[in-house]
Amino acid sequence: MARIPAQPFDFAIDPAQVALVVIDMQRDFVEPGGFGASLGNDVAPLQAIIPTVRRLLDGFRAAGLPVYHTRECHRADLSDCPPSKRLRGDPALRIGDDGPMGRILIAGAPGAEIVPELAPLPGEVVIDKPGKGAFYATGLSEVLATRKIRQLVVAGVTTEVCVQTTMREANDRGFDCILATDATESYFPAFKAAAIDMITAQGGIVGWAAPTDAILGGLDG
Ligand code: C5J
């Protein structure tokens, strides 16, 4: 088992039990002209992590290790999008409304697709999730159990929303999680920093954090 230098202390990565989970690198969150940008967010920092997320993906693929992708999206009839979710945010542009890249966060809409640079390869599992966490109302637990995965490297957007929620869900289910700090991003730099602090505080109450190079070095080791 290789040791990855990480916060709050080294992470012992076990290639037999580890998987990469890439959260919601979807056009509507990341690309100019998408949902996130339409709400007035600067998407440039999210776009900037695409090459780093790609390096993580390529490292896991080259090592023959499992990779999972998630997409935040809903059924066309919105039966899986409760008012507690749909009615939050800007009333001018809500989940299910017609947006610049099709209906906002509806399965099958162009904006709900993963950015082409990070497109899943044939055979890679894509988890469509109606919640912020990747475990809520999805088959992710079962998929990971089938492969006997116990450790997750986590990347994607946004750090303090879907990434952090997924790490908390995973930790409660017994997974050791490490966040790739330069392969995750937020529209709000202070929220990203705070999320990393919250994850790693108190002896790693939610998990670990390390840059991509350190994680890939652990795969090599
Ligand atoms: C948000 C996400 N921020 N993927 N979604 O609404 O973090």
Question: Is any ligand 1 atom within 6 A of the Cβ of residue 20?
Answer: no
pLDDT at 89: 82
Residues 192/42, Cβ–Cβ less than 8 Å: no
Q: Is 71 a member of any domain?
A: yes
The answer for residues whose C-beta is within 8 angstroms of residue 62's C-beta and 6 or more apart is none
Instruction: Identify whether 42 is a catalytic site residue.
Output: no
Gyration radius of the chain over CA positions: 17
Two tokens, residue 1:
């088992």
Query: Which pLDDT tens digit goes with each residue over 119-150?
Result: 999 999 999 999 999 999 999 999 999 999 99
Q: How confident is the model at residue 90 (pLDDT cuts 50, 70, 90)?
A: confident
Q: Specify which residues 75 forms β-bridges with.
A: none
Instruction: Choose which residue among 30, 49, 88, 132 to substitute to test ligand 1 binding: the one with the highest number of ligand atoms within 8 A of its C-beta.
Output: 132
Which residue matches tokens 């986590």? 154
pLDDT of 199 above 90: yes
Number of structural domains (the chain) is 1
Instruction: Identify whether 162 is a catalytic site residue.
Output: yes
Residues 53/185, Cβ–Cβ less than 8 Å: no
Residue of 167, 162, 159, 156 whose CA lies nearest to 194: 159
Supply the DSSP string of 149-189, one letter for each residue.
Answer: --EEEEEEE-IIIIIHHHHHHHHHTT-EEEEEEEEEE-SSH
Q: Average per-residue pLDDT in the chain?
A: 97
Q: Is 133 a member of any domain?
A: yes
Cα(116)–Cα(211) distance, integer angstroms: 23
pLDDT at 13: 97
Q: Whose CA is nearest to atom 5 of ligand 1?
A: 162
What are the start-end ranges of the H helices in the chain?
A: 27-30, 35-38, 44-48, 50-62, 83-86, 140-146, 164-172, 189-204, 212-220
* Centre of ligand 1 from the C-alpha of residue 165, in Å: 10
Q: Is 100 a member of any domain?
A: no
We report the CATH number of the domain holding residue 22 as 3.40.50.850
Phi and psi, residue 213, nearest 5°? -60, -40
Residues 110/149, Cβ–Cβ less than 8 Å: no
pLDDT at 124: 98
Q: Is 209 a member of any domain?
A: yes
Q: Is 23 a member of any domain?
A: yes
Mean pLDDT, to the nearest integer, of 175-190?
98
Which range marks the domain in which residue 47 is found? 3-75+114-220
